Amino acid sequence: MIDQNTSSFRIEHDSMGEIAVPADKYWGAQSQRSLQNFPIGEETMPTEIIRAFGYLKKAAALTNAALRPEKMTIEKRNAIACACDEIIEGKLNNHFPLVVWQTGSGTQSNMNANEVIANRGNEIVGKALLHPNDDVNMSQSSNDTFPTAMHIAAILSVEQALLPAAKAFEITLARLEEENADVIKCGRTHLQDATPIRFSQEISGWRASIEKDILMICDAFEHLRPLALGGTAVGTGLNAPRGFDIAVANALSDLCGTSFKTADNKFHALTSKDELVFAHGALKALAGDLMKIANDIRWLASGPRLGLGEIFIPENEPGSSIMPGKVNPTQCESITMIAVQVMGNDTTIGMAASQGNFELNVFMPVLAYNFLQSVRLLADGIRSFNDRCVSGIRANREKMNENLHRSLMLVTCLNPHIGYENAARVAKKAYAENITLKDACVALGYLSAEQFDQVFHPEQMV
């Protein structure tokens, strides 16, 4: 095993010469140079990218063994595959220390993967079998592996984390919709009283938004299934065997349990990141709807005595260090902060994607970091918001009924009987004199008390 004494070093070398590397780490010379040359920030390469490289390098080894058996022997293939499995399982995450703020092509992270796989693979077989460039990076370039890793990471994180969270949230909203079908409340537009609405109808708007967002995400992420792998340095496929691109995409599909295919135009795949911009737009749409839903919920729960107070939400923790008994809508605050972060990430992603020059985009690490942060935050945030807030929403039926019958906009049902302008006079008189709509209407002589009762039915206005 590699020496676990962190005070010791070993000497690794690359084309620039020798360099000391911590003896207890699997990375090699190029990773070490990156660590020394980019001591910038605390943002390291996302674990989703690391895991994607595990799948990618394993698929490449399997494909090379089939297409170039004289170079990728069964022994080499198996050693690479074993090391990659450990990366996929997250066992080697602490051997990937590189920051986001490195070379814009992600070359150093590609080499980080190559070096870790080579050194761990050699340890597994007990001899110097694998070379990071000649074997682990066979038929590849950083220029096609990093964009491929971004697409793999994006697809897997959405399928395995975000979509399940969003669908569970949709199910919760559907349940609340069914439970509140008999509750009628005051609707609101412009933050002002409007005509009545069923609480279930209001919730149905939330549910339909999430349902639409899920559909848009699924549609948008289909554009990430084509992969750059096989384009190598500039899109020509130099040093990759014929058919490598198609075969490696098929291998990745089998390993990841989802569908990938080779990009039709590798020159586009290497330099353009338009698919990621488009896909993140769907994430931004979800963030926008989450912002709206969370704001609705905290407005409806505001109070408890001096706000709207129309719903109860779970009380999870004390809300103030000075005001005893105060409880705040903290889950709403959390998900809305996530929403603005995603919207900010969208700007970064759009700017980064615009920076392709000639045959390569060199803003890929920051694009990947922001994209995957959005997916991760949305998935985690939706789960928390759903479990700790939305699933526990209860209608304050008494308050809703009270607010409903105090609403001046119920006067709208009088329009067919006394006309819009007369109905407006009724509403203004009732408001100015703090009397009921009925009293105002009768006082103005538009309807008798009996006539008013015959036509005034708020429950029929929904």
CATH of the domain at 63: 1.10.275.10
pTM summary value: 0.95
- Give a three-class secondary structure readout of 192-260: EEEEEEEHHHHHHHHHHHHHHHHHHHHHHHHHHCEECCCCCCCCCCCCCCCCHHHHHHHHHHHHHCCCC
**375 lies in a domain?**
yes
* 103/121 same-domain check: yes
> Domain boundary residue among 138, 165, 185?
138
| φ/ψ of residue 356, rounded to 5 | -75, 135
288 lies in the same domain as 334: yes
* Claim to verify: residue 47 and residue 127 sit in the same structural domain: yes
Active-site residue flag, 157:
no
Q: Are residues 162 and 218 in the same domain?
A: yes
Residues for the chain: how many in total?
A: 462
pLDDT digits (tens, 9 = 90+) for 308-329: 999 999 999 999 999 999 999 9
- If asked whether residues 201 and 287 sit together in one domain, one would say yes
Count the Cβ atoms, other than its own, within 10 Å of residue 358.
9
Verify that 212 and 336 share a domain, yes or no.
yes
User: Within this chain, do residues 29 and 156 fall inside the same structural domain, yes or no?
Assistant: no
Angle between helices 142-157 and 47-67 (to 10 degrees): 120
Q: Is the pLDDT of residue 396 over 90?
A: yes
pLDDT at 6 over 60: no
Instruction: With respect to residue 268, please indicate whether it lies within any of the assigned structural domains.
Output: no
Q: Is the pLDDT of residue 5 over 90?
A: no
Q: Are residues 360 and 438 in the same domain?
A: no
Kindly state whether residue 402 falls inside one of the protein's structural domains: no
Residue 239 forms part of a structural domain: no
User: How many structural domains is the chain composed of?
Assistant: 3
Structural contact between residues 161 and 375, judged by C-beta atoms closer than 8 angstroms:
yes
* pLDDT tens readout for residues 216-271: 999 999 999 999 999 999 999 999 999 999 999 999 999 999 999 999 999 999 99
User: Within 13 Å and on the Cβ side, how many CA atoms surround 372?
Assistant: 27
The one catalytic residue among 320, 354, 405, 448: 320
* H/E element, 146: helix 142-157
- Please check the confidence at residue 305 and state whether its pLDDT lies above 80: yes
Could you tell me if residue 1 is inside a domain?
Answer: no
- pLDDT score of 143: 98
- pLDDT of 121 strictly over 60: yes
Whichever domain contains 201, its CATH number is 1.20.200.10
Confirm whether 244 is domain-assigned: no
Whether residue 418 is contained in a domain is answered as yes
- Answer yes or no: is pLDDT of 7 > 80: no
Domain boundary among the residues 397, 418, 445 is at: 397
Same-domain status, 188 and 115: no
Q: Is 209 annotated as catalytic? A: no
**pLDDT of the residue at 4:** 46
- Note the pLDDT of residue 459: 87
Whether 208 and 114 share a structural domain: no
Contact between 48 and 372 (Cβ < 8 Å): yes
In a domain, 248, yes or no: no
Range of 309's domain? 151-225+276-397
Q: Could you count the other beta carbons within 10 Å of the beta carbon of residue 93?
A: 14
Is the domain of 437 the same as that of 370?
no
Q: What pLDDT shows up at residue 3? A: 52
User: Do 216 and 341 fall into the same domain?
Assistant: yes
365-384 burial: b if 16+ Cβ within 10 Å, else e: bbbbbbbbbbbbbbbebbbb
The single residue of 7, 15, 190, 321 carrying the catalytic annotation is: 190
Q: Which of 97, 117, 138 is the last residue of a domain?
A: 138
List pLDDT tens digits, range 409-419: 999 999 999 99
What's residue 170's pLDDT? 98
In this structure, of 2-16, 147-161, 197-211, 261-275, the range with the lowest mean pLDDT score is 2-16
CATH number (domain holding residue 424): 1.10.40.30
What would the mean pLDDT of 322-347 be, rounded to a whole number?
97
How far, in Å, CA of 105 to CA of 143, rounded?
6
* DSSP label at residue 307: S
Cα torsion 342, 348, 354, 356 to 10°: value is -110
Q: Is the CB of residue 451 less than 8 Å from the CB of residue 409? A: no
CA distance 57 to 182: 57
